[in-house]
Amino acid sequence: MDPDLSTLDDRLDAAGVDAYCLDAASTEPNQLYLSGFDAPDPFFTAYALTAPDGTGELAVLVSGLEYGRAKKESRADAVARLADYDYHERVGEYGEREGTARTYAAFLADLGVESALVPDRFPVGVADGLREAGVGVGVDGDDVVESVRAVKTDEEVEHVRRAQEANEAALRAAEELIAGAGVADDGTLTHEGEPLTSERVSEEIEVTLLRHGCALDETIVAGGADAADPHDRGSGPLSADEAIVIDVFPRDKASKYHSDMTRTFLKGEPSDEIRDRYDLTEEALEAALAAVEPGATGADVHAAACDVYEAAGHPTLRSDPTTETGYIHSTGHGVGLAVHERPGLNPRGGALEPGHVITVEPGLYDPAVGGVRIEDIVVVTEDGYENLTDYPVELVVG
Amino acid sequence: MDPDLSTLDDRLDAAGVDAYCLDAASTEPNQLYLSGFDAPDPFFTAYALTAPDGTGELAVLVSGLEYGRAKKESRADAVARLADYDYHERVGEYGEREGTARTYAAFLADLGVESALVPDRFPVGVADGLREAGVGVGVDGDDVVESVRAVKTDEEVEHVRRAQEANEAALRAAEELIAGAGVADDGTLTHEGEPLTSERVSEEIEVTLLRHGCALDETIVAGGADAADPHDRGSGPLSADEAIVIDVFPRDKASKYHSDMTRTFLKGEPSDEIRDRYDLTEEALEAALAAVEPGATGADVHAAACDVYEAAGHPTLRSDPTTETGYIHSTGHGVGLAVHERPGLNPRGGALEPGHVITVEPGLYDPAVGGVRIEDIVVVTEDGYENLTDYPVELVVG
């Protein structure tokens, strides 16, 4: 895929610099997106506007170990080796940090680059070193490449869709495990005579994802009080009659794009309190989804979810910024090469555009009751959105 | 685990600064090690020497979403919320980048910190913002925390050992799949009537690792010409009579520590060339291992492997820095919270110390022949090393 980098060109023009630079491994999504090269260790990428015709030239500087693969696989117009710029000699003479910066400076000089924009999270050691070597380095506080990444092509949406299909298979496996669980006298769920734990359900999800070509960093399977903390991954035996939040965010191994979905399951009988919270969360989901369309802002969508919760008397971070119960996170985020990326559905979220792939994920949390969250993933279209999630919204299973 | 931070104290004293700071997610091993807190999004950690008695105080600044968990789980003496330092107001007034830096500066002021050391890869946007807010920010080009991390406690070695046990189970599953494969008329390996692919073997490895409590980022299963590129992960059908390099580096999910091991398998009959290269690589492994002891340097161990290859007439990066065949990588690296960390077994590698956990992984590469690599993981002891790897070194399987 060749990304449309015209927004980046404009940003560089506006900043009056020659190039945009990255120094990161491909685990950093901007690096993977811009270079089109997947490497486990950091390498240097320069997108330079120094060609006489003004077209952008993409150049990468890699170790000898990555050179052959970078020539074959990267999007770069030019691939160079560290050894081409006397990296080892420079490190020998000036030490690792200064030697590396001098190597990069020589590479940039070769491209005719005298000044560069870098993202907020560019390494300060390299930035300071480039500055000492005479290269102007400005920080792009707005992260223009992440904004470019936020708008997906049809091909990228297909990557997310494939990850989401695997996600649904994995969630189905988890649901079946919980639905089919036995219940011990003390209320603990059981599977094949053993307590059914968060870890066991996570394992089932992760194995299913692997069988469907996906990897993942973490899975959340959190029951009871664990689920009242949205970032708690859950541990130990699960119980009947408690809400179990399952949040799965796999990465398709081939494309590296993610999906993200949450359902809350309960085996047994929900209390009125849990049932009310679940129904209200489904209502908040529907309200937030109804607000998704081009031109609406992430703030609008977040407000729609907050409205539902506040009307029912639950605190939100909008009504009480320090609350630790109620609706204590934002309503969603972009999904792509990163699980969490732009745009944000939060009080500062800007305008939605066609091609934005976003989660919508309201939830309610209270250690005394447990947690409830329902999360769909959708793509913003010309006239609203398409829901990429095809999974029932049902609390009680089995 | 409470790390011994006396080396960090000394570094801060020598630099004449008040604190060491990190701004990263826990995927950054220094952050996980220092804060003891596992969070998916970046947060700010300050290790300050400003207490009247000179003892270090560890403080973390997290979002409201992480506050409860950080109080419970982190090693920090003090946990603060972004909202405690008017983060949202500051971002509203000054924008994301400057607002964040001003929030951090207020947090540091509260700790009595006027100047800080940060690692090379600390985000330049935050560093520049702190400097603008009057905080002195110097770069620790030597990454003192990575040096502290390199020396493992017995508990950390046990974490690696557990990951390595899972690793061996996974490699055994891969070996069985290849050993039991059929061979089609064109030489393709088959399994249950289908071609046996790199992807299928990787899946078996990864599922086995999950069943043993490990996750992993990538697996290398590369046969034939794929294996001649040490970073190629391999794809497509595997064949009889070709060397298949399998390099597995799982992370124990509970401890977050890694292991790393490589074996090269061949189903069928090796050519004399492959057999010679395999035997030579085993000889290089033994020579390199024999060089591992406290006081020896990473450079010594690397030289021992290079000596074996060069004596047999193969190029190495030492004899020819631009060679693309022969021995084209370093001899090993530290393993811990990162798969690749200090110490390096390379031409610049420094002295080995008891507690260093390192790989030793010589290999030979040539697209015309294929690749061969054998990798063990060992811990440096008071009088040599203990090999944490318990897996046969045998080329032909089945």
Q: pLDDT at position A232, please?
A: 87
What pLDDT digit, counting tens, does each position of A55-91 carry? 899 999 999 888 989 999 999 999 999 999 999 899 9
Question: What is the least distance, in Å, from the CA of A179 to any CA of chain B?
Answer: 22
- Beta-carbon separation of B122 and A119 below 8 A: no
Is residue B286 over pLDDT 90? yes
Is residue A23 over pLDDT 80? yes
DSSP bridge pairs for A363 = A373
| One domain for residues B303 and B160 | yes
Mutate to test the interface with B, among A91, A120, A320 (most CBs of B within 10 A): A120
Report the CATH number at residue A326.
3.90.230.10
Residues A281-310 have a mean pLDDT of: 98
Say how far apart CA B288 and CA B280 lie, in whole Å: 12
| One domain for residues B70 and B128 | yes
Domain boundary among B149, B178, B204: B149
| One domain for residues B73 and B133 | yes
Task: Please tell me the total number of residues recorded for chain B in this structure.
Answer: 398
Strand stretches in B147-295, DSSP E: 182-183, 189-191, 194-195, 214-215, 219-223, 244-248, 251-252, 261-267
| B64 contact A CB<8A | yes
Is residue A124 over pLDDT 80? yes
pLDDT band at residue B381 using 50, 70 and 90 as cut-offs: very high
Q: Residue B62: enclosing H or E segment and its boundaries?
A: strand B57-62
| One domain for residues B185 and B126 | no
Listed in sequence order, the residues at least 6 apart from B84 whose beta carbon sits closer than 8 Å to its beta carbon are none
Say how far apart CA B129 and CA B94 lie, in whole Å: 11
| B22 contact A CB<8A | no
Question: What is the least distance, in Å, from the CA of B344 to any CA of chain A?
Answer: 13
- Beta-carbon separation of A69 and B211 below 8 A: no
Residues A105-133 have a mean pLDDT of: 97
Question: What is the least distance, in Å, from the CA of B331 to any CA of chain A?
Answer: 13
Residue B1, domain member (yes or no): no
pLDDT band at residue A346 using 50, 70 and 90 as cut-offs: very high
- Chain A / chain B CB contacts < 8 angstroms: 136
Say how far apart CA A285 and CA A288 lie, in whole Å: 5
Is residue B364 over pLDDT 80? yes
| Residue carrying structure tokens 């950390």 | B156
Strand stretches in chain A, DSSP E: 19-24, 43-48, 57-62, 78-81, 115-119, 136-140, 182-183, 189-191, 194-195, 214-223, 244-252, 261-265, 332-334, 341-345, 357-360, 363-366, 370-373, 376-381, 384-387
β-pairing verdict for B384-387 and A384-387: unpaired
Mutate to test the interface with B, among A20, A104, A231, A340 (most CBs of B within 10 A): A231
Mutate to test the interface with A, among B124, B143, B198, B212 (most CBs of A within 10 A): B124
| One domain for residues A219 and A120 | no
- Beta-carbon separation of A321 and B64 below 8 A: yes
What pLDDT digit, counting tens, does each position of B193-237 carry? 999 999 999 999 999 999 999 987 789 999 999 999 988 899 999
Question: What is the least distance, in Å, from the CA of B383 to any CA of chain A?
Answer: 30
Q: pLDDT at position B366, please?
A: 97
Q: Residue A181: how many CB atoms within 10 A of its CB?
A: 22
Touching B: A residues 347-366, CB under 8 Å: 347-348
Mutate to test the interface with B, among A103, A124, A335 (most CBs of B within 10 A): A124
Which residue in chain A is spatially nearest to B227 when comparing CA positions? A69
| One domain for residues A167 and A125 | no
Touching A: B residues 234-293, CB under 8 Å: none
| CA B131, B134, B135, B138 torsion-angle sign | positive
Residues in chain A with CB shorter than 8 Å from the CB of B344 are none
3-state secondary structure of A277: helix
Using CB atoms within 10 Å of the CB of residue B395, give its burial: 0 to 12 exposed, 13 to 18 middle, 19+ buried.
buried
Which residue in chain B is spatially nearest to A81 when comparing CA positions? B322
The answer to whether the CB of A44 falls within 8 A of the CB of A116 is no
Note the helical H segments in B180-227: 198-211
Say how far apart CA A211 and CA B199 lie, in whole Å: 10
| A8 contact B CB<8A | no
Listed in sequence order, the residues at least 6 apart from A209 whose beta carbon sits closer than 8 Å to its beta carbon are A166, A167, A169, A170, A215, A216, A248, A250
Q: pLDDT at position A55, please?
A: 86
- Beta-carbon separation of B206 and A229 below 8 A: no
Mean pLDDT, chain A, rounded, equals: 95
Question: What is the least distance, in Å, from the CA of A348 to any CA of chain B?
Answer: 8
Is residue A217 over pLDDT 80? no
Residue A357, domain member (yes or no): yes
Listed in sequence order, the residues at least 6 apart from A33 whose beta carbon sits closer than 8 Å to its beta carbon are A3, A145, A148, A149, A337
Q: Containing domain of residue B284, as a range?
A: 151-397
| B65 contact A CB<8A | yes
Residue A394, domain member (yes or no): no
Report the CATH number at residue B124.
3.40.350.10
DSSP bridge pairs for A58 = A47
Q: pLDDT at position B42, please?
A: 94
The answer to whether the CB of B149 falls within 8 A of the CB of B343 is no
pLDDT band at residue A215 using 50, 70 and 90 as cut-offs: confident
Q: How many domains does chain A have?
A: 2
Residues in chain B with CB shorter than 8 Å from the CB of A317 are 64
| One domain for residues A370 and A306 | yes
The answer to whether the CB of B339 falls within 8 A of the CB of B211 is no
Nearest-by-Cβ selection for A231 from B66, B139, B215:
B66
| A230 contact B CB<8A | yes
Say how far apart CA A104 and CA A97 lie, in whole Å: 11
Q: What would the two tokens of residue B335 be?
A: 């393993």
Above 0.95 for ipTM, yes or no?
no
DSSP 8-state secondary structure symbol assigned to residue A382: T
| One domain for residues A298 and A270 | yes
| One domain for residues B353 and B315 | yes
Query: In this structure, what is the dihedral angle of CA atoms A351, A352, A357, A361, given to the nearest 10 degrees?
Result: 80
Residues A238-244 have a mean pLDDT of: 98
- Beta-carbon separation of A88 and B128 below 8 A: no
Least confident stretch, A185-189, B24-28, B133-137, B138-142:
B138-142
- Beta-carbon separation of A123 and B118 below 8 A: no
Q: What would the two tokens of residue B201 be?
A: 């073997």
| One domain for residues A97 and A230 | no
Residue B197, domain member (yes or no): yes
Domain boundary among B102, B122, B149: B149
Say how far apart CA A315 and CA A325 lie, in whole Å: 7
| One domain for residues A100 and A241 | no
pLDDT band at residue A231 using 50, 70 and 90 as cut-offs: confident
Q: pLDDT at position B40, please?
A: 86
Say how far apart CA A25 and CA B247 lie, in whole Å: 19
Which residue in chain B is spatially nearest to A207 when comparing CA positions? B207
- Exposure letters B259-285 (e unless 16+ CB within 10 A, then b): bbbbbbbbbeebeeebbebbebbbbbb
β-pairing verdict for A370-373 and A376-381: unpaired
Residues in chain B with CB shorter than 8 Å from the CB of A118 are 124
Residue B198, domain member (yes or no): yes
DSSP bridge pairs for B11 = none
Residues B344-360 have a mean pLDDT of: 96
Mean pLDDT, chain B, rounded, equals: 95
Domain boundary among A149, A176, A198: A149
Residue A398, domain member (yes or no): no
Nearest-by-Cβ selection for B139 from A40, A128, A328:
A128
Residue A224, domain member (yes or no): yes
Question: What is chain A's Cα-based Rg?
Answer: 24
Residues A369-397 have a mean pLDDT of: 98
| One domain for residues A145 and A162 | no
Nearest-by-Cβ selection for A328 from B64, B121, B218:
B64
pLDDT band at residue A185 using 50, 70 and 90 as cut-offs: very high
Residue A397, domain member (yes or no): no
Q: Residue A393: enclosing H or E segment and its boundaries?
A: none
Quick one: how far is CA B28 from the chain centroid? 11
Touching B: A residues 161-180, CB under 8 Å: none
Residues A113-117 have a mean pLDDT of: 98
